[in-house]
Amino acid sequence: MLCLKKRGCSLLEDWREKQDRCRVEGTEGTNHLSFLTSILFSHNIPHLRAYGLVFDAGSSHTALFVYQWPADKENNTGMVSQTFSCHVNASGISSFVKVPARAGDSLRECLDAAMSVIPADRQREAPTYLGATAGMRLLSRENESAATQILTEVSKTIQEYPINFQGARILTGKEEGAYGWITINYLLDSFTKYSLVYRDWIHPSSASIWGALDLGGASTQISFVPAGPITEGEEAAQFRLYGFDYTIYTHSYLCYGQNQALLHALRIIVNSSSSDRFEHPCYPMGYSENITRTSFYSSPCAERQESAASGNVILQGTGNASKCRETFQKIFNFSCGHNTSCGFNGVYQPKVNGKFLAFSAYYYTFNFLNLTEGQPLAMVEAAVQTFCAKNWAELQSTYPKEKTSHLKNYCASANFILTLLLKGYGFNNDTWDNIAFQMQAANSDIGWTLGYMLNLTNMIPTESPSSLRGHEEGVWIASIFFIVLMLALCLVFLLIYFLK
């Protein structure tokens, strides 16, 4: 190109110099942008939420739990949280033997509520499960076709909703115990946690692993990692989670849930004589009720010869905690038989080891009695004695909003729990302090449902993740702002040079 005028040539050379300088700086800016882009898009950025639903169809009631997690972080860690729960306003599904269709209808209110929580565009992908526990295990043992029909009806109802229904089934006691153990340790970060110091996932010490104590209406489960080997394989469950192997002891005792235990104690009292009037040491003084024998003899847990009993009996409370405890001891067999170590009824159990979290009916009973703050055993037993000694009028005055069906049974439930934990499972004055009574962790309800969903959706990887993936939303926004700012500065730089 020819330079016609000196000033024009100077301007042209000036422009070329500025252009080259901007090209260099622009290249550097592009490199920065490429670097930032590679960082951001090499990670999974959470845009959408995924959802999962699990019905806990227990012996006395059904509950629905909705869980959520970042849609692009499946098979990662520490991401699942409970976002909604709903308790069905009806008895457990096993109670609908004569009208199975109503078992399905009973779920509609909670399903409708869940649909209002889950975004419409995420519903069809939401895996949905129904797991039935001890109530249905008992019904299946007594009337398998009736249990199957109830599961069919609840499945029909759930399939009417725009969700990814994965089936309804009856859990084994072993599954119920194991999934409860997984839930607790997942929520408490016992399996793995991210260390800001090492910038990596770390495996907490084995001392961080919790045992699980679950008390339902018809069964009770104990699950923990023993100090030594498990000598009877049928009582063991094995998992590989986050790159580590776990072998836990887990056992479920059918008919030893809280409701069935209370009925068992009642049968022992009534069987003690041929009279129609009985003193009940677990009921408060001044309380009296007239009930039919079939109400407690018709249970699937009752002996066959007892089930034919008929007529009415009158029960009068005496509020005697010591005799109440003695009555509950009669529903157990504490002989180990051929086992050198056992729980009760001759079932093999290693010595309890480590920390335990007691939930469900354990928590509800002790929470009512204000005994969930880590009180020592002596204080707990004294508090139970004091409560049991209160007469019925005093209890009604102190707890006017409490249902009679619950209030009359708190003394009985507390003494059953103490008998189960101390003489059944082998806790003592030294190990009592290792038990925490709790119903929630990390803003989620404790139970088997979360562990069940995590297992069936493969949300817990078998191997340990190597690094933390993804950024929080704030970091993502800040990064975008930084990119825009760099582009704006480059434009300003160009304008300044051209205006000179």
Tell me the binding residues for ATP.
217-221
Burial profile 73-108: b = 16 or more Cβ within 10 angstroms, e = fewer: beebbbbbebbbbbebebbbbbbbeeebeebbebbe
Query: Would you name the residues annotated as active-site residues?
Result: 176
Binding residues: 217-221
Q: At CA 55, angle to CA 51 and CA 60, rounded to 5?
A: 155
Q: What are the beta bridge partners of residue 356? A: 211, 435
Contacts of 313 by beta carbon, 8 Å cutoff, 6+ apart? 270, 276, 277, 278, 290, 291, 292, 293
Interatomic CA distance for residues 364 and 360, integer angstroms:
6
- Dig out the tokens for 457 from the structure: 């959706």
Contacts of 460 by beta carbon, 8 Å cutoff, 6+ apart? 77, 182, 186, 191, 241, 242, 454
